[in-house]
Structures are given as structure tokens and as C-alpha cells.
Amino acid sequence: MSRLKTKFSVSLTCLCLLLFSTAVTTKVEAATETKSVFQKARRQLPPDFYALYRIVDRIARANEYDTRPWQIVRVGQYDTQGFGKNPNTIAIFNGILEELGSDASALACMISHQMAHHRQRHQVVNAIEKAELIAQIREEAEKEVLGRKRKTSAFAAVGDFVVRRMIGGTIGAVVGGVLDSKSYTRIRKAQRQIDVIVEKKTAQLAENIKQQSRKDEFEADKVAYLASVKAGFDKEGCLRAMSILNRTPGVKFDDNHPTVNERITAIKAVMKKFQNQSLVEEGKQKLFQTQPLTYNFSANQTNLLINSRHGTSVGDDIDRMFGG
Ligand SMILES: [Zn+2]
């Protein structure tokens, strides 16, 4: 019995050792494969794009942002709304790359910031859209004032077409012939009322855009900090990113953007609030369970497309799952 027990215990030990060694082999194989993908990328890509690829790959996999592709574009002009309207596009200003001084964690935080804007679905209101909104405000104001006035006899007599042309600023012979001076004064008064409404609502619109933009920036900084730490980058990287922004020529912020000092204070508050170690562990697990993302580099060497975890096509995804 005791011999049987020993035999059983020996075979159990063997089985455990076998399983353990298989797990170790698989782990080593995965690590070797990962390393060779990165070595290949280092040979294929220009140094800046290699760095950008590694950062996006790590942040995407560690935070499960890898279900969609990411596009990296180098740009010659800084834009606070650089993430723009194109889905999952990360715009990197050349001036920042020159100021970095090889600081991968600071760059990771800046990239993570743009990824956060996309992930949080922040909306950018550009100049054209703002002009459209103001035109809409004017139209509504005209409707409101003229709707009220139309009930009075003078406006009813003048008619919509003429009033609208006047309100729009075209006062020509056509109007002069139709209106008496009393009606003319009334329409002038209506025009002033419309201008007051438009001015008030336009100021309110600008304030709303400003508040939303500030809120989005603070949120993007917070999410960027957490995502870059999860991806294993230095937690101080976001603070250093702020001082790089401060000293890079060509980087300008408008009134809709919080100041760098306000952002530093907010980032420090986030750093205090969240436990780094658990974030790092969580990210490590995700990185360990996933494969490096593939990429496509544009022929003119300006765009790098980093594919999602499914590759570039369904065929790729099948090869990834079952072998090619
Ligand atoms: Zn931003």
C-alpha cells in the first residue's frame, strides 16, 4: 500500500513537473515570438515610428483598446484638437518629438491622452460647426421675434419675404417702396431685438463649448494617466509631458483649454487617488495574454496604421487563431 502510495505520489509529481515544464515552454515560446515581432519592427520602421508603435501597442493591449485599429500621423503644426474628427487617429506634433529627450513615458502619456479622447468619444466643435450653430441661433431668434410681431398689423401687411430681407441686412428700393416710416421703425426695433438674442445665445454657446472642452481635457488627462501606468510606463511620465508641452515652441492653448498648471494639479490629485501597483499588475496580465499588434506603414512614411487584435482582415484573424 505504502509502495503504491509512493508510486502514486511520484507519478503525480512527474505530472505536475510535466505540466509546469509545458507551461514554462509555452511562456518562453510566447516571449520569444513577441521579442522577434518587436525586433522586426525595429528593423522595418524609422526610429520615431518604432517608438510610437511600441507605445500604442502596449497601451492598446494593456487597456483593451485593441478592438479597433489606431492610426498615427506625424504633423508639422500643433493642434489642441489634434485627435480631430477621424476615428482613432493620433496626431503627433514633430516639435514634441524633438523636445522629448528620449522620454518614452512622457510620450506614452501624450499618446494615451489622445487615445483617451477617442475612447471617451469627446466631440470637437470646429470653426465651421460653430458658425453653423450661430446661424441656427440667428434663424431661431428671427422666428421668435418675427413670430411675435407678425400678430401686429404692420408686420402682417409687410409680409414675410420683405421682413426677412430687411432682417438679413438688405434694405433696398424694394423695401422703401413698400414700407411707411412707422413700419420701418418697427422692423428696425425687431432687428435690434434679434441682435440682442443672438449676442446672448452666442456668448452662452461659447461658454458651453469652453466648459465642455475643459471637462474633456481633465477627463482625457485622468484616463491617459491610468492607461499609461497600466501599460507599465513611469507614473511621473504625465507630469513630465506637461513640462515638455510648456517648453515646446509652437505649442499654444486657446481659452477653451485648461492651463498646464491646472492640468498638473489635477494629474497629481489622480496620482494620489489610484493605487499604482494594482494598475500595473492588471496591465501586465493583459499584455501577457495577448500578442503584439501588427501594423502597416504607408509608402510615403507618414502614417502608421496599427491593426486591431483581429489583424487586417477576417482571414488574418482565422490565421491568428488556427495558424496559417
Ligand atoms: Zn486634449
Is residue 65 predicted with pLDDT exceeding 80? yes
Alpha-carbon distance 260 to 46, whole Å? Answer: 31
What is the tens place of the pLDDT at every residue in 175-201?
Answer: 445 556 777 787 788 888 889 999 999
Distance 279 CA to ligand 1 centre (A): 23
Distance 35 CA to ligand 1 centre (A): 33
pLDDT of res. 174: 41
The DSSP 8-state label assigned to residue 313 in this structure reads S
What's the 3-state SS for 277-317? Answer: HHHHHHHHHHHHHCCCCCEEECCCCCEEEECECCECCHHHH
Distance 221 CA to ligand 1 centre (A): 7
Domain limits, the chain: 1-44
Distance 281 CA to ligand 1 centre (A): 27
Distance 134 CA to ligand 1 centre (A): 24
Distance 96 CA to ligand 1 centre (A): 14
Range 132-146 average pLDDT: 88
pTM of the model: 0.78
What is the tens place of the pLDDT at every residue in 152-177?
Answer: 555 555 555 555 656 555 444 444 45
Is residue 85 predicted with pLDDT exceeding 50? yes
At residue 134, the 3 state secondary structure works out as: helix
Q: What protein residues have CB closer than 5 angstroms to ion ligand 1?
A: 217, 220
pLDDT of res. 83: 59
Distance 59 CA to ligand 1 centre (A): 17
Distance 304 CA to ligand 1 centre (A): 21
pLDDT of res. 185: 81
